[in-house]
């Protein structure tokens, strides 16, 4: 029997995401509208809505739907917001951000991810996203600052350069700490170099390139 993707997407939102305290109506509508099944590998279409991280290549993963919902809710995006996404991946979260924000710039160090995401976003009719191939920690400098920054890979500690990319009032979602007990935090730029930090949840993601903890040798 063919899978009813529309029903599966609705069930994902109502039975997984909403119980994880994602109650923002715009976020829930976005997760219902963006076709997650179109942003995964063909072999994973039937598990696109499962409560799982999905492998996407290069040792990277697609976050669980519940985590994506918490990301979108925490950022409280408006159509006036200019967003930077570090780690395009499949382009699914990119599409969700684009539906909620005014403009999204998304970068990924893997050119094949960027090209595949570009094709998926075009097919989905998303027009307010600019994609670029770049390594964020050592190899990227944006031309401006942003209302929101989303980091889709973990960092051991938040690079100082990342926080400088936030406008006053800007918000950053980032997963920080030591695997397997990392913490997702929301950093808010309060102006004059002051940042407020809110811990959101515990999770575990692969590290961004050049953002993993230094290996320690024990004798």
What is the pLDDT tens value at each position of the chain, 219 positions in all?
Answer: 578 999 999 999 999 999 999 999 999 999 999 999 999 999 999 999 999 999 999 999 999 999 999 999 999 999 999 999 999 999 999 999 999 999 999 999 999 999 999 999 999 999 999 999 999 999 999 999 999 999 999 999 999 999 999 999 999 999 999 999 999 999 999 998 899 999 999 999 999 999 999 876 555
Domain that holds residue 114: 5-203
Count of C-beta atoms within a 10 Å radius of residue 48 = 23
* β-sheet bridge partners, residue 86: 107, 151
* Assigned domain for 216 exists: no
**What is the domain-level CATH number for residue 116?**
3.40.50.150
- Long-range pairs, 119-128, Cβ under 8 A, ≥24: 120/38, 120/39, 120/90, 120/91, 120/92, 120/95, 121/91, 121/94, 121/95, 123/38, 124/34, 124/35, 124/38, 124/95, 126/94, 126/95, 126/98, 126/99, 128/98, 128/101, 128/102, 128/103, 128/104
State the pLDDT at residue 215: 76
In a domain, 211, yes or no: no
CA 124, CA 39: separation in Å to the nearest integer?
A: 10
Q: Which two tokens stand for residue 11?
A: 């069930």
Residue 212 located in a structural domain: no
219 within some domain: no
Identify whether 17 is part of a domain.
Answer: yes
Could you tell me the pTM of the whole model? 0.95
The CA–CA distances, whole Å, from 174 to 29, 42, 126, 190, 211 equal 23, 29, 24, 17, 12
Number of domains within the chain: 1
């Amino acid at each position: 029997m063919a899978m009813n993707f529309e029903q599966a997407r609705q069930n994902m939102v109502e039975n997984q995401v909403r119980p994880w305290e994602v109650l923002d109506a715009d976020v829930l509508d976005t997760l219902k509208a963006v076709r997650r099944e179109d942003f995964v590998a063909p072999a994973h279409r039937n598990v696109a809505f499962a409560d799982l991280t999905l492998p996407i290549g290069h040792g990277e993963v697609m976050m669980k739907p519940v985590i994506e919902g918490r990301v979108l809710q925490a950022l409280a995006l408006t159509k006036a917001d200019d967003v930077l996404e570090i780690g395009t991946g499949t382009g699914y979260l990119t599409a969700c951000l684009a539906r909620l924000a005014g403009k999204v710039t998304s970068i990924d160090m893997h050119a094949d991810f960027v090209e595949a995401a570009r094709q998926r976003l075009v097919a989905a009719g998303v027009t307010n996203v600019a994609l670029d191939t770049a390594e964020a920690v050592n190899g990227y400098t944006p031309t401006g600052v942003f209302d929101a920054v989303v980091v889709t890979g973990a960092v051991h500690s938040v690079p100082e350069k990342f926080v400088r990319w936030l406008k006053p009032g800007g918000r950053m979602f980032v997963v920080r700490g030591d695997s397997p007990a990392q913490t997702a935090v929301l950093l808010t730029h309060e102006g004059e170099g002051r940042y407020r930090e809110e811990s959101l949840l515990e999770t575990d993601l692969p590290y961004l390139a050049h953002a993993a903890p230094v290996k320690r040798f024990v004798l």
